[in-house]
Copies of this chain bind each other. A is one copy, B any other.
Amino acid sequence: MQVRGIHHLGVAVADIDESISTYERLFGARLEGRDELSEQGVNAASLFVGESRVELVAPTGEDTHVGRFLARRGPGMHHVALETDDIEGTLRRLVREGAELIDETPRRGLFGLEVAFVHPSSVHGVLTEVVFDG
């Protein structure tokens, strides 16, 4: 079995600090860490909500992927990341099954993870990330 389960739920927000506070207050979340991918224009925080992870992503400017997402749809769920123990094998399977990949080969994502995104049109509108987390 390649896919282990949900690695994290990605949520697009305008203000990282305010959003961390919301998840702490409402659901007892604990901050795991913060990171930034400047070439993608994203600031991020990883939270543990119980045993699960929520990744908050905020744009560093309006003309970024997350900035345009917020302008178009407002804050909310942005992507789901599925953890795999074999990212190359998972990508081969996706291609074989006709899925459209945004990243045809794995790249370095937030928090040092090896990641690749699948186009939402192949997954009923869900922007899906596959993640290898060591």
Residues from chain B with a CB closer than 8 A to the CB of A26 are: 93-94, 97, 99, 118, 122-123
- A52 to B6, Cβ gap below 8 A? yes
Partner of A1, one of B50, B77, B125: B50
Tell me if A49 and B5 are in contact (CB < 8 A): yes
A116 within 8 A of B: no
Nearest chain B CB to A20's CB is how many angstroms away?
10
- At the interface, yes or no: A83 with Cβ under 8 Å from chain B? yes
Q: Give the docked Cα–Cα distance between A73 and B80 (Å).
A: 17
Query: What residues of B have a CB within 8 angstroms of the CB of A5 in the complex?
Result: 49-52
Within the oligomer, what is the number of copies of this chain?
A: 2
Q: Label chain A's interface by main secondary structure.
A: mixed
A19, chain B: closest CB distance, angstroms: 5
A124 near B28: Cβ-Cβ < 8 Å: no
Contact of A105 with B by CB under 8 A: no
Q: How many residues of A contact B (CB 8 A)?
A: 39
A110 at the interface (CB under 8 A from B): no
Flag whether A87 is at the interface (Cβ < 8 A).
no
Binding site for B on A (CB under 8 A): 1-6, 9, 11-13, 19, 22, 25-28, 49-52, 73-77, 80, 82-83, 93-94, 97, 99, 118, 120, 122-126
